[in-house]
Structure 1
């Protein structure tokens, strides 16, 4: 479409110089249509034009300038004086456009608060709904406000009546002036949100009133929000005053539904205000460049909990030694850190299990009288280019074809959210896999039941904050600032009903591509009879069910070396890229007496996830309490002179029952 826009402008220039009325009108119309298409469907091309110093203002000025040139060429001699007021008015319109943009920037700055919140009553900050989106986006505004002027000039080119151009330019001037007035009113003292110091004072007062003790710290990209999401329920179930600390404003609405207060602190000086709060412990589900900033706060203890455990190098990252403690699921992760020799001391490793998995139902026997439900959940390609990271490229299509060839199989395909983000081949393979599944489903894709539609609406109402699409961060702080009592219980109840209706809506043998947040991965675990995945944390989590699983070996390692290199594969059926082992694997699922890996799975589950008792949530809570006690002890020691201890010396502390510190 970018080429169409360039061609239209060139055609408009030729038409203006010839002059040729029909070509001028047609080229102008095509140019405007191309602009609309770019802004609606090709924002990347808009950015490319802007980087080439051909932004929307330049393009719009050029379009109107060529119309004026065409009018001058089409008119009689000495008609320049008739168009002089018209040109002056057109210039005034563009001057107003620049003024509106400048005031829009000022309004945006007054609404860009140093602290962004969710689930907190922030009405004291004098917040208000955001200005109309048309006034905040220069490109959209110029297209709409400038359309009457362009249309009027075009009408004059056709009719030779200057009143058309005069009326169009006058309307554009009125629209621009009205937009300017609307924005200027936003800058009046009584209409502005609280200034930076007022917001910071309010935030300090909220910290003093709420007195948070445990927090989740998260920073990342848009597609990584799921990493924080898996720790929301365990955090909410603690006997504590939890808080979620974010660093990017765009992440605030991305965090899944929760009643926990959410605070976004983009700037480091604002983040440092936590040092004098009651916050004692922060848990970290991921590493990021901004993690080092919060680690500088000496009054808070930090625990790395990760967003999943696997045999990948990322599960024993050297960065982990920066935390006070590393909380892992079971003995296998402790051994992984010891073998990796990345600087994490064994005394700082705490086994807590995986509290998220308490909702995963255990194995209840083979499928009887129904299709075998197979969950294919490959991981993404990773950053290092290792061909063994994901099976999507080398084996995905073969695996899916082999599964679809068995009429007694129902396939659930749940790819990693980052699939294709690094290697385009993975994205292309993912699209082909989806096409295979959709083709197999053509004759058995039912419409959603009325009950499922009703529950979806209800669940959306409970789990979304009701933001307007055009709402900015300040406006979102006004929407449902404090969760209503019983909302969490209602969400759990409706979610369970939604999942039951969702699975019931699938016909026998109906396959499904699951790319949305619902149903969750753990909900898929509960209905699956078999998992096929790669070396990833999905394997570790699925072991909580005790059900059979298989791992695709798409690297260069022979099977014995593959099992040795990746301990999580010890109890798996290893599949080759040609998927030749799929029929035998399905036969073992249907006939448990042929399953020779059941005992190995039970043993591996204990190594990876730890003992079943105490429950993971209890062990997680015990670890939190122990680290909170250490934080309070550290504050007490450093509150005054400590002559008996050297600076930085650590004191041994006892741990409550259920928290394992040694293998």
Structure 2
């Protein structure tokens, strides 16, 4: 289909050239009509080709200009035979239309600049910024605008070429000029002083005032791409449960809408100069779930203490990144991570490591026994991604994934939940190809299975719960909304929304699993259901050396780790402590049947005690709860920041002024230089 569209456009353009130069009116008409039809197909069904044409410098603007140019050439060639002076005004009108088009584009750029604010917010009331809905998308997209506004002119010129009647071309051009003038006027009105949003300096002053009024105490700092949003999202709930006034600080504008539903105020500060304004705020602590190139910029703020909380812990080298010694403290789950940093010798001092557990794991339900007789054994296969270093042991997807899935699907009593890492295939195309093959294996297995399905009421209930959750968590934006309009549509949430979201989420998860047949395998790639909801459904986890394993230990359920590192099993267990309580599976998946048997018969499970001991080592004690330890760590670091600010303020205080001259000064001996003053200046006593 794609090649057909490209072929039609190329053939139509070539035919237009021939029809214009001969001139041959029927060929010119047919070629132009075919070109317009291909454009419609391109934008309706082949949107991916639009960007390909743009990269080839043959975007819709170029194609439209070429189409009209050939029509003009054809008209002028016809004019040599008939009435050239009659067609000349049509050409002038077309040039005027293109002049208006470029004027609209220039004004559109100016409007966009006035609406690109130095601070992007969410969950904050912004009436002082005088924001308004965005201009229509058609006025902001030059290619689309030219195609729509220029269509009457093109049609009129076609009719003139067919009938030799200039009135049709004049009418089409008049209509195109009229809509172009209307669009230009609508944009110019937005540049009037009373219609444009607040200027940069005014926005910055508003931001400073908001910081002074809100008085944030602890924040979450995040910089990254859209696919890494999960790293920040996992800390939203623990942050929201703190007693202080939390804040989320982002650096990339696109991330503002990638952050999951939360009542915490969100500010995006793209420029370093704007970020530095936090130095004079009440913000005392920033938590960092990941490292990025822009992290070094915020670390320059001396009035804020920084803690690295990570987005999960594993035995990989990435969990002991030397960069973390730049933070004031490194917060880890349990003693194992403390030992990991000590053994890694990357410059992290032991006194800077704070054990807080994993406050996110409160949503993970504990082990409630093996699957009931006759019930399906639910296995969660959640491999990690391939990583940046090319280590074959990072992910099992490439070497073992298909074998593991085939072995699981071969057991008629297994229901498989396959949840790949969001970044799978982003580095190694082999991982992406293996992931696609695994998904097809799951679909094929479902086609061969049958069984009772939930009635229509379950699907209807899921639909109701989805609508309710979307209403609470998803802002309704027009497709044409820009960032300024989204700021306007996302004010401070109403009190109690966080609790309503929690209840709606729990109800949605219950409805989701109830709507799925108990025998049906699932490929879980959407944001919902989240990983921890899959934990609660699973009787067994199969994963790689990753933070997924550490988190799953909170459930107390059996788990297995695929060994694709090439190491012997004993070396593999020694090298990666998280594997200590796991069943180790080889790439050929020969150990899967025995593993399933141990899950179904707990008396054959020899690793239950080891899992409990490992959970204590990796995640820390159950009491006090992790959320309390997390909150205590925040309070302690806030106190350190406060003490540091006090000492800094004391150092920066100007010296006490000297007493002024007295009206009748008492007699005193002349001051003399001291040996400690090499300049010979008198010492003031």
What TM bracket, shorter-length normalisation?
over 0.9
1:93 corresponds, among 97, 109, 119, to 97
My pick for the range that moved more, 80-89 or 156-165, is 156-165
Alignment of 1:3 onto 2:38? no
Unaligned runs of 5+ in 2: 654-685
> How far apart in 2 are the matches of 1:107 and 1:571?
60
> C-alpha distance in 2, partners of 1:423/1:158?
56
SS of the equivalent of 1:422 reads: coil
Give the counterpart of 1:396 among 394, 401, 409. 401
Deviations 1:512-570 (A, max 9, x none): 11111111111111111011111111111111101111111223222222222222111
TM-score by length of structure 2 reads 0.91
Of the candidates 418, 421, 439, which is equivalent to residue 444 of structure 2? 439
Match of 1:266 in 2: 270
Find the counterpart in structure 2 of residue 614 from structure 1.
Answer: 624
1:199 maps to: 203
Residues 218 and 228 in structure 1, CA contact (< 8 A), matched pair in contact too: yes
- The residue aligned with 1:105 is 109
Point out the structure with max Rg over C-alpha.
2
Tell me if the contact between 2:79 and 2:85 (Cα under 8 Å) persists in the aligned partners: no
Q: 1:293 aligns with which of 290, 297, 301?
A: 297
Aligned-partner Cα distance in 2 for 1:7–1:637: 76
| Range moving further from structure 2, 456-465 or 572-581 | 572-581
Q: Does 1:536 align with 2:540?
A: no
Structure 1 match to 2:635: 625
Q: Which 10-residue stretch deviates more, 179-188 or 160-169?
A: 160-169
Is it true that 1:373 corresponds to 2:378 in the alignment? yes
> Aligned equivalents of 1:40 and 1:583: distance in 2?
50
Give the drift of 1:170: 1.8
SS at match of 2:185: helix
Range 417-426 or range 433-442, more displaced: 433-442
Aligned counterpart for 2:243 among listed residues 212, 235, 239: 239
- SS of the residue aligned with 2:287? strand
Q: Which residue of 2 aligns with 1:329?
A: 333
Matching of residue 505 in structure 1 with residue 508 in structure 2: no
**Does residue 557 of the first structure (1) align with residue 562 of the second (2)?**
no
Matches within 5 A, 1:92-491: 92-369=96-373, 370-442=375-447, 443=450, 449-491=459-501
Structure 2 counterpart of 1:570, from 562, 580, 594: 580
How far residue 419 of structure 1 moved from its aligned partner, in angstroms, is 1.3
Pairwise CA distance, 1:326: 0.4
CA deviation digits over 1:410-434, x for unaligned, max 9? 1111111111212222222222222
- Alpha carbons 2:152, 2:173 under 8 Å: kept: yes
How far 1:156 moved relative to its partner? 2.9
Give the deviation of 1:463 after TM superposition: 0.6
Alignment: residue pair count: 643
How far off is 1:52 after superposition?
4.5
Question: Is this contact kept in 2: 1:116–1:264, CA < 8 A?
Answer: yes
Shift of 1:8: 3.2
The SS at the match of 1:585 is helix
After alignment, is 471-480 or 539-548 more displaced? 471-480
Paired with 1:21 and 1:428, the residues of 2 have a C-alpha distance of: 51
**SS of residue paired to 2:498:** helix
Cα–Cα, structure 1 residues 425 and 19, in superposed 2: closer, same or farther, change >3 Å? farther
SS at match of 1:251: helix
* Partner in structure 2 of residue 79 of structure 1: 83
Deviation at 1:102, TM superposition (A): 0.5
State the shift of 1:377 in Å. Answer: 0.9
* Alignment partners' CA distance in 2, 1:557 and 1:18: 75
Matched, 1:547 2:557: yes
Distance in 2 of aligned mates of 1:26 and 1:562: 70
Q: Residues 382, 38 of structure 1: CA spacing in aligned structure 2 closer, same or farther, 3 A cutoff? A: farther
SS at match of 1:190: coil
Instruction: After superposition, give the CA deviation of every residue in 1:115-159 in whole Å (9 maximum; x if it has no partner).
Output: 111111101110101111111111111111112222222333333
Q: TM-score, normalised by structure 1?
A: 0.94
| 8 Å Cα contact 1:563-1:570 kept in structure 2 | yes
Q: String of CA shifts for 1:221-280, please: whole Å, max 9, x gaps.
A: 011111100000000001100000011111111100000000111111111000000000
Relative to structure 1, the CA distance from residue 575 to residue 144 in structure 2 (aligned partners, 3 Å threshold; closer, same or farther) is same
- Extract unaligned runs of 5+ from structure 1: 644-663
Q: Which moved more, 1:257-266 or 1:580-589?
A: 580-589
Instruction: Give the 3-state SS of the residue equivalent to 1:208 in structure 2.
Output: helix
Greater mean alpha carbon deviation, residues 105-114 or residues 413-422? 413-422
In structure 2, how many angstroms separate the alpha carbons of the residues matched to 1:347 and 1:339? 15
- Contact 1:407/1:509, CA 8 A, preserved across alignment: no
What is the Cα deviation at residue 33 of structure 1? 4.0
Q: Mean alpha-carbon deviation: is it higher for 352-361 or for 71-80?
A: 71-80
Q: Aligned partners of 2:652, 2:282: CA distance in 1, in Å?
A: 22
Does 1:13 find its partner at 2:17?
yes
Partner of 1:600: 610
Indicate how the Cα distance of structure 1 residues 297 and 389 shifts in structure 2: closer, same or farther if over 3 A, else same. Answer: same
CA distance in 2, matches of 1:534, 1:157: 69
Post-superposition offset of 1:640? 1.9
| 1:522 and 2:532 correspond | yes
When structure 1 is superposed on structure 2, of 523-532 and 560-569 the one drifting more is 560-569
Quote how far apart the aligned CAs of 1:375 are.
Answer: 0.8
Q: Report the more deviating stretch, 466-475 or 111-120.
A: 466-475
1:24 CA displacement: 2.9
Contact 2:79 2:87 survives alignment (8 Å): no
Distance 1:298 1:34, change over 3 A: farther
Deviation at 1:498, TM superposition (A): 0.9
CA deviation after TM superposition for structure 1 residue 478, in Å: 1.3
Using the alignment, how far apart are the partners of 2:26 and 2:395 within structure 1?
56
CA distance in 1, matches of 2:619, 2:385: 23
